[in-house]
Chain A
Amino acid sequence: MYRQGLGDCFLVTFVGRTPRHLLIDCGVVLGNPDARGALRAVAEDLVRETRGKIDTLVVTHEHLDHVWGFHESMTGEVFSRQIRFQRLWLAWTEDPRDPMADQLRRQRRSQREAALHAAARLRGVASAAGQRQARCIADLLGFFGITEDEIAAVAAAGPAGAPDAGVAGAAARSEERRTATEVALDRMKSLIEDKTYFEPGSGPFPMPGVPGVRFYVLGPPRDRQKLFKSDVGSSDDVYELGGGAVSVADSMLAALRPSVTEGRLESERGQPFERSRRLGAGDPVVRELLARVGEGESADDWRGIADDWAGVGEQLALALDSATNNTSLVLAFEFVETGEVLLFVGDAQVGNWCSWADLAWQAKDAGGESRTVTSDDLLRRTIFYKVGHHGSHNATLREGGLERMTSPGLVAMLPVNTRIARDIKGWKRMPLDALRDRLIEKCACLIQLDEAEQVHGRLKGRVQATPLFVDYYL
């Protein structure tokens, strides 16, 4: 595990005649101190460590804290010239030819744009609530590499929907905004010829070049319900994420950003009533109504709702964030001989975890006998767990997850920098204390990115830490 900041970067080396390297993600969050320097140091160390040859690159999902390192502006040509990747593994959600993936991507784009415009609008709001919401959205958009400057630029382009913004103003805010995360991921896709997009429940596949090791694909799920489920609690027919959020995003976008069709403003989109029903704020009927309910006389507009609706942007941004986390590719690597499992979950959230229960594989055991393997078996035999989403509350399932990892030799790596998460980003509950406490209690060894010098657990003798990385030897 590299210690670049708040983000994931894992190098798994299978020692043998020729060591085989597997790199899982490389990134930090927006606002990470000296992000470029940190990622560059990681990249250069990777060149040394792997002698410029990495067999497999796994990118779990398209978030800055997992892909920023692959962006040319961060690491220059290290990943294109100094390291050669044999193959790239991605989830089916990144497959450009998959219709469902394509639909998800389009939905995500529209949610992202809606959140972006909501943040832009909220910047101009004086209320503390509006400011807080704007900050929260900006933080979440940061996961796609969208910066405050970009939000400010959108805000400067003028209030959406206002006729004076004009056709030119609307056109300037193009549909085709490409985020840093898209650019980074696309770059690796074009650099590496051999790409595989994995389906949940597929495998076990032999690990190329590593005899005795194979891997299972657990997530992301194909089931939309599960893909959009970010949290525990809400039962089947209580509020669902997803479907609703997407259509809401569209209707918000229609209000926030008039789109241009054939050079004409299409501001009618999303309007609930026909034009003749609509009155302007200056209309005498409106002024009369406001006077009647005691507004308009004083400046004390404590009941006004002019900006409340933009607060929806915060929820959209949250929904978008977790929907993206849930597209994490989840892989379980198994040593056939011992049955031991290494589990890498990316940032999978509740719905992704829940979906594994339905999976089963046919695999030959060490004796050559064919057996049915369930996700439960894999969890039970897990001896290494990469803690999901930097230890947040909804990325490690309790009963159906961590508590089923019953191996006495369980080791966990928690890629979180508490100072960056809590002090810089203001995410006070990352990592969740209750989860961390349980990990310390449960695991034979817990290695946390920012505390690698003080490892917990009886197996801590196998840990070796340097300021740049921390190694664990199985």
Chain B
Amino acid sequence: MPLFHPSSPPRLAPDPGLEVAAGANAGDPGRRGRSSHYEPPPVRRLRGYSFDPSLSSRLETALVNERVYTIPWEDTEPGPVGEYLEVVDHDPASGCWYAPVDIDDPHLLAQDGLAPASSNPQFHQQMTYAVAMTTIKNFERALGRPAVWSSRFRVARDGEGGGSKLEETYVRRLRVYPHGLRDANAYYSPAKKALLFGYFPAAGAGTPRSPQYPGGLVFTCLSHDIIAHETTHALLDGIHPRFMEVTRPDGLAFHEAFADLVALFQHFTFPEVLRHQITQTRGDLETENLLGALAQEFGRATGGRSSLRDALGGINPKTGRWERGQPDPRALERELEPHGRGAILVAAVFDAFLAIYQNRIADLKRIASGGSGILPAGELHPDLVGRFAAEAAKSAQHVLTMCIRALDYCPPVDITFGDYLRALITADRDVVPDDTRGYRVAFIDAFRNHGIYPRGLRALSEDSLRWDPVTAAFERSDSVRRVMDFLKSFLQQTALIGDRAERWRITRESRRQLHHQLMARFRNVPEFARATGLDFSPLPGNAGLHFEVHALWPLQRQRPDGTTLSQVVLSLLQRKRISRSGDAFDIWGGCTVIVDSGAGALRYIIRQSVGDETSPRVRQAIRNRSSPLGASLRDTYSEAGGGTGEEPFALLHAGH
């Protein structure tokens, strides 16, 4: 510890030899405070790889592969341990630990953190922290509220009766293990609320296109794409914990696709890389480039020919050359494996992005080409590169924000890609009422080309894709007004609370009260059951099915015209046990309710009815049960006969 520390961190286990007096932080008690005479900086700057270490050893990319991640400032303790994340560097396979990095150390603060180095575990900790925080920041901006991790549920014993109940507890930080596995794998563990990253020796010497050092260690925690992907799984789980209750092929596929999309669009926030790639492709991002490819090093090190996944196209095995992928409207019907299906959604969104980008640079191309729109041969003017890069970055940020924002407009369980398109269109319309740039059209167009659309619409237009607004009669009913009053008081309670734990506590209490209210007011109102997709029909010997108030989020979204859209999103969820030829299993259903709290109006109820046994969704669930989709080798030998097991993502991501 240096002598002239601006303050001294109070630690739980202070080392008397090194610590000076502990200073209190007035604004933020309880954390490691550094009393300072100055305002805290708005951002923290940390160095890291743009992609992964492999690109630093290639001449053409070495210079752009290092960047500075700027993330919101927060006080941290060695780990880093902050408000959202705790990096714990335990390497059980090697039987050891690595000392935590202290990114608040002034020597590191003064040089934007440690320099990228794959031989230094502390840099690995810094890199995972920086990328995960970047991803969290992107989510918070788009969602308009603080990110939370999914709650932990555990069985707690009741004191007296000896019975047990499920107890929901708050998880403040996501645990990050940068070297948790010796495996070509990395995954999010929903049970541990942790990200586990693996490391492994590269297989073989690579290919002539991309030679590699055989046996060289590959660290998944040094890949921007893998960190962003896994962090997104955790964030998505925090928003929709029931997306893993899979009864349709799209559930896990959506998780995968969404995680890939976030990683991809974050590429466009790397200014050096973006300029470099725009120069190389002469602004045409439809040709092979690094921005559209995921996990370069991992893909090659596990024996592949190129990056792990590529949203633009791939290497034709016959010719050995890269080719732009062509949308196939029938692909979705054929492909049932989660990664394969996910790739279709990723390609569709990426195509929408490219159309938006093309649209945004069309005028620039005309200006630069004397009106023809056809750029002359040779290198682009650096200023034009800069303008193209700015448009690409803006388009990517917009598309990423649209994609994240749409999560609030999804049904709470059993999402389909078609639902997601409707969510995208509806959410965007609420925030940007007039679509002057044609973003929504670009999305509809790209999704149609890839065969992604919801069933049963009259037409595939913006109007019909928008979720149906709530009928006026229902909204005006007395009971609904009372619920709205309740939400009003809930909003007042949470309005000035900045502390995530406190918000979580208030929210949980409010969910309980809301549940109570809904039970009291609506239990016997058939209209409510219809509107919410819940099932209240009495069961033999029982009053009826339970339901849960599953989420309750107040949020504020910034509109481009400067106004704010204030909303409350809540979801109701129900589980129904169905038996079919002696086999009992669960069907989930419910709805997401979106309230415009500024206007005091109930806007949408997005339903996924629990349904009866004849609905197509339930029939699908029964079919899946007898022959699960994506049946794997493990299923043949597993005792449970399929199912996702303890770590649903561990196998999905395994590199072998």
Contact = CB atoms under 8 A, between A and B. Distances in A.
Interface of A: 129, 132, 135-136, 139-140, 161-162, 230-248, 250-252, 255, 270-274, 277-281, 283-293, 302-303, 305-309, 311-312, 314-316, 318-319, 321-322, 392-394, 426-430, 432-434
Interface of B: 11-13, 15, 77-79, 81, 86, 88, 90-100, 119-121, 152, 154, 173, 175, 177, 179-185, 189, 191-194, 196, 198-204, 215, 217, 219, 299, 301-310, 314-315, 317, 336-337, 339-340, 626-627, 630-642, 645-647, 650-651, 654-656
B181 A308 contact: yes
Nearest to B118: A272
B202 A318 contact: no
A77 to B, nearest CB: 34
Given A247-B200, A303-B194, A309 B340 contact: no
Contacts of A277: 98-99, 120-121
Nearest to B194: A303
B641 to A, nearest CB: 3
A392 B340 CA distance: 23
Given A238-B340, A287-B13, A427-B637, A247 B185 contact: no
Contacts of A291: 12-13
B100 A271 contact: no
B181 A140 contact: no
Contacts of A286: 97
Contacts of A279: 96-99
A287 B200 CA distance: 27
Given A244-B655, A284-B13, A309-B198, 16 more contacts: A231-B632, A231-B633, A237-B308, A242-B303, A251-B201, A272-B91, A280-B96, A288-B12, A309-B180, A309-B183, A312-B185, A318-B637, A319-B656, A426-B638, A427-B637, A429-B636
Contacts of A231: 632-633
Nearest to A314: B634
Contacts of A230: 633
A250 B93 CA distance: 13
A288 B119 contact: no
A135 B634 CA distance: 13
B259 to A, nearest CB: 15
B642 A278 contact: no
Contact of B203 (A233, A247, A305, A394): A247
B300 to A, nearest CB: 10
Given A233-B340, A244-B200, A427-B636, A305 B303 contact: no
Given A287-B13, A393-B635, A311 B184 contact: no
B323 to A, nearest CB: 12
State the 10 A-B residue pairs at the shortest beta-carbon distance, nearest first: A243-B303, A428-B641, A233-B337, A245-B656, A243-B203, A244-B302, A278-B96, A426-B639, A244-B656, A129-B646
A114 to B, nearest CB: 10
Nearest to A127: B646
B636 A392 contact: yes
A312 B182 contact: yes
B637 A139 contact: yes
Nearest to A238: B339
Given A242-B656, A289-B78, A291-B13, A237 B305 contact: yes
A312 B183 contact: yes
Contacts of B91: 272
A302 B192 contact: yes
A431 to B, nearest CB: 10
Contacts of A248: 182-184, 200-201, 655-656
25 contacts: A129-B645, A139-B637, A234-B339, A234-B340, A237-B310, A238-B309, A244-B200, A248-B182, A248-B201, A278-B94, A279-B98, A280-B96, A285-B97, A287-B13, A291-B12, A293-B173, A302-B192, A308-B647, A309-B183, A312-B185, A316-B656, A393-B636, A428-B641, A429-B635, A433-B627
A278 B97 contact: yes
Contacts of A280: 96-97
Nearest to A389: B636
Contacts of B630: 233
Contacts of A284: 13, 15
Contacts of B177: 305
A324 to B, nearest CB: 12
Contact of B86 (A232, A235, A241, A293): A293
A248 B202 CA distance: 9
A307 B315 contact: no
A303 B152 CA distance: 11
B79 A239 contact: no
Contact of A239 (B219, B301, B656): B656
Contacts of B194: 303, 305
Contacts of A243: 203-204, 302-303, 656
A232 B635 CA distance: 14
A293 B182 contact: no
Contacts of B633: 230-231, 318, 321-322, 394
Nearest to B193: A303
Given A244-B203, A247-B201, A278 B654 contact: no
Contacts of B154: 302
Contact of A252 (B97, B100, B182, B336): B182
A139 B304 CA distance: 30
Most buried by B among A162, A241, A250, A251: A251
